Chain A
Amino acid sequence: MQFLDFEKPIQDLYEELDRIREVSKKSKVDLSASISDIEKKIEESKKSLYKNLSGWQRVQLSRHPERPYTLEYIERISEGFVELFGDRNVKDDKAMVGGFGQIQGQTVMFVGHQKGNTTKQRQYRNFGMANPEGYRKALRLMKMAEKFNKPIVCLIDTPGAFPGIEGEERGQAEAIARNIQDMFLLTVPVVCVIIGEGASGGAIGIGVGDRVFMMENTWYSVISPESCSSILWRSWEHKERAAEALKLTAKDMLGNGLIDGIIKEPLGGAHVNPEEAAKNLQKKIVESLKELIPMDAEERIQERMAKFVKMGVFNEA
């Protein structure tokens, strides 16, 4: 397991545990008492460490290299997934995946950003940064879901839409704008979940839903803490401060009424126990669909719009 800088105390305890186990094995001395002592210590320090993570620490967890990504979640929460490729126009964007699958017998259309687990995969997936064709592929699949009256599940995990020449020329801004607007008019239920990083337009480009949830150790904002820091303080050094200022954690977002709920992760993050994380995710999706499917399509659209139209705080003299 890879540990993050702030997880050092726990890493130390794990290393001590390994050492004692080794000694016990070699010397054939029964050290089970000290072993269970350390195991208890690990549990306790985990509990206290993860109880009050800072914004920046959540950002770090959201980017943990072992964190489950979209296709892994789809694999874990659905059966019979059929991946569908291409935007029927330019190409297939590897940073955006989608297709039909069944969650406990209910057919849904999955759409989501995809990151890679290895260096090669990361490049192949363009680090989860989609181009316009990715957003148009997502919209194509969502419209197909609408045609067959199947709900849509969007899994969001992106450091941003890709800033490149071809992307600009093919209308990155138009693609994102179109998705946002057309998602409001979808006649089928839409459930969106931030499963990792929710960076600005690249995230909200598949982020308009009847329900929008964040997993516990994710972030969602208009800019990354690093970029925010470099703009405000002209260096990436103040990313911790920027992360606090942006109020980008699930708890902050729920408190500000910008999301509908938080999905619990296992202690230490989704990567510690992906199965448990997936189970929690599945439960929330199933729950939401149970509420949304019986609703009248127009009523759902009106509520979806009203929810987002309410967002924003201002003064009126």
Chain B
Amino acid sequence: MAQSLDRLKESPSQTAGPYVHIGLTPNFCDIGGVYESDLGSTMVNDQTKGERIELRVRVLDGTGTPLKDALIEIWQADAAGLYNSPAELRGTADPSFLGWGRQPTDMETGICLFRTIKPGRVPFRDRRLMAPHITLWIVARGINIGLNTRLYFSDEEKANAEDPILARIEHRARVPTLIAERQGDAYVFDVHLQGEKETVFFDS
């Protein structure tokens, strides 16, 4: 017998269930007066640097129907490509931009709306630059463990072409599942949980 590595196991995930709003966006589901506002509902203020954009995200099930009880969180760099995080050692991010947002999908339309800024480019592990991207984490009833994916931008063709994460996707036909289409000032992004257009989800 060798010595024990003395490691613990991560607590197993369980679904967020149909009532995730009670815990994470109580004001959205009419539980008022407990928290002043829902955490992560506002990402940008007058001082925030960068190009204002809107993300319209939907999550579609295996029949192509948008989920109306999902919750999405996003995490992104500021306009200069810096994360507002203690683990960011390259500099200080825009103090007027946390870079984290949380929104429920609309109970009628299934659209999840984020008002944010376009992120700058962040270096990969080997210092090559990744294309501008936003990290998504998706939970809902029926999702046993939160799904991780990335949103890239359709008007960043050159950067996307040299992005080291997009380059890892063996089935090249699936790369477009990670690219949001620009429509005016908004980017539209459909996440397909299943089927021919199934979005690439990451394990990282």
Our verdict on whether A and B bind, yes or no, reads no
Question: Which residues of A approach B to under 8 Å, CB–CB?
Answer: none
Question: Which residues of B approach A to under 8 Å, CB–CB?
Answer: none
